[in-house]
Structure 1
Amino acid sequence: MKVLLLEDEYSLRISIKEFLEELDFDVDCFSNGDDALDAIYDTRYDVLLLDVNVPGINGFDLLKTVRKDGFKIPAIFMTSLTQMSDFEEGYKAGCCDYIRKPFDLVELQLRITQVCKSFYYKNRNKLDLGEGLRYDTEKHKLSFQGDEIVLSKTEHQILEVLLRHKEQAVSITTFQDEIWGEYVDPANIRVQINNLRKKLPVDIIKNRRGVGYIIER
């Protein structure tokens, strides 16, 4: 994964770069917003990590500029700005996440992973789940060899949670949080998941006992 890092604080920039490179990320570092902006037009990046208050164009204006020019790259702001107005401006500029300094590098890693999974899932219209099974993320339709498989609203939601966390086991608690937003009897959730599995002609949902459910393909 190729990362653009815009951070003018030297020690933090080097710490982030070294940490991510140990995880096999390819990191290009910049301390000036103008240089980072030029690089985005010259190089394909998978994710942007942007400080806000930097020399040259600031992080907010940089992201507004690339979004205006049609660049669909997931972006995370890393900043010491803590006012709600700053938070709002960051999201209006087009960021996917906003992390306040100081932060743990492991937290940054987790946010990068989740943002990229979510972003690239949302920006793919049709997901190929194998053996003729496809899911259209715009129309929210599941089909097998061209024929639609009719799902209930809850079954759609369960499938989309699993796809957002593809190749990662999803716990019952995660289903509760992302679908219902409150406690739901785990037995009822398992029934809904099993109902979904019965409708699928391809066995793509696996049960990791004691951990959760996962789509592995």
Structure 2
Amino acid sequence: MRILLLEDELILKESIEEFLTSKKYIVDGFENSDDAFDAIFSTEYDLLLLDVNVPGEWNGFSLRKELAREGKSIPTIFVTSMSSADAMLQGYANGCCDYIKKPFDLIELLLRVQHALKSNCFKTKENFIELPQGYSYNVTTYELSCQSKRIPLSKREGELLNLFLIHRNQVVSFEMLYEQIWENNVDSANARVQVNNLRRKLPKNMIKNIYGLGYRLDCR
């Protein structure tokens, strides 16, 4: 498997290259988005690891968008210090399979690389994340729709959906919900009601209750 790495922090770039090479991957590292762009059109890659804030004509997000315009559909993981929910959703809207926040453990990176190489990514179009059964979500306007019919979301429902999308196919614990959505200022019954309100606006069983742990948004 051949991986392109775009990372302008030299020490981190070398660490990732050395580690993934030790795991039998072929890694081509670049510090500039222009050089990475040229390489993608001269070499077949199985996966892209893209930092976001890098030198060159494009940042990681705009590079991925430009590749999509050129018909290059390559699984992509963004590797960045940008940690806001908006940034993560922008990454998914630009066609990434995953988004890993710095600092991170190299073992975590390996697991995400392995998962991205064997799983399906989100289907995306411009600012929309396409969900199963004809549903889509606009990460710019925070609007849910089904077959062009808009489904109104409350502010809280939008915040919940953002969180579930960022951690799609993973369990979002009750503790994570209480802390990130309500800053621990909510009782469990009220939180459950608001999650159930969102679940009713999505296809049945898309958000599953994982008994005793939390919830999981399934987008497989």
Contact preservation (8 Å) 2:100, 2:109: no
Q: CA deviation at 1:113?
A: 8.9
Question: In the TM superposition, what whole-angstrom CA distance separates every residue of 1:115-136 from its partner, at most 9, and x where no partner exists?
Answer: xxxxx79985223323332222
Question: In the TM superposition, what whole-angstrom CA distance separates every residue of 1:89-127 from its partner, at most 9, and x where no partner exists?
Answer: xxxxxx986746xx742243467799xxxxx79985223
Contact preservation (8 Å) 2:31, 2:55: no
TM-score (norm 2): 0.59
**Which range is displaced more, 68-77 or 171-180?**
68-77
Q: 1:168 aligns with which of 167, 170, 186?
A: 170
Match of 1:132 in 2: 134
Distance 1:66 1:40 in 2: 15
Contact preservation (8 Å) 1:171, 1:211: yes
Match of 2:63 in 1: 71
Q: CA deviation at 1:192?
A: 0.8
Aligned pairs for 1:1-217 (under 5 A) are: 3-5=3-5, 13-19=17-23, 21=24, 27-30=26-29, 33=31, 37=36, 39-40=39-40, 42-43=42-43, 46-48=47-49, 63-67=54-58, 70-72=62-64, 75-76=78-79, 99=102, 104-109=105-110, 125-200=127-202, 202-217=204-219
Evaluate the alpha carbon distance shift between residue 15 and residue 151 of structure 1 in structure 2; reply closer, same or farther with a 3 A threshold: closer
Q: Identity of counterpart residues, as a percentage?
A: 33
Question: In the TM superposition, what whole-angstrom CA distance separates every residue of 1:39-91 from its partner, at most 9, and x where no partner exists?
Answer: 355345743367xxxxxxxxx7xx2215269413755379xxxxxxxxxxxxx
Contact preservation (8 Å) 1:128, 1:135: yes
Give the SS at the match of 1:214. Answer: strand
Larger radius of gyration: 1
Q: Give the aligned CA root-mean-square deviation in angstroms.
A: 4.4
Query: 1:64 is matched by which residue type in structure 2?
Result: P
Contact preservation (8 Å) 2:124, 2:130: no
Give the SS at the match of 2:63. Answer: coil
Evaluate the alpha carbon distance shift between residue 160 and residue 104 of structure 1 in structure 2; reply closer, same or farther with a 3 A threshold: closer
Query: 1:205 is matched by which residue type in structure 2?
Result: I
Match of 1:55 in 2: none
Evaluate the alpha carbon distance shift between residue 139 and residue 149 of structure 1 in structure 2; reply closer, same or farther with a 3 A threshold: same
Give the SS at the match of 1:170. Answer: strand
Distance 1:141 1:168 in 2: 22
Aligned length: 181
Query: 2:4 is matched by which residue type in structure 1?
Result: L
Question: In the TM superposition, what whole-angstrom CA distance separates every residue of 1:172-210 from its partner, at most 9, and x where no partner exists?
Answer: 122233323445333321111012223335442111112
Query: 2:3 is matched by which residue type in structure 1?
Result: V
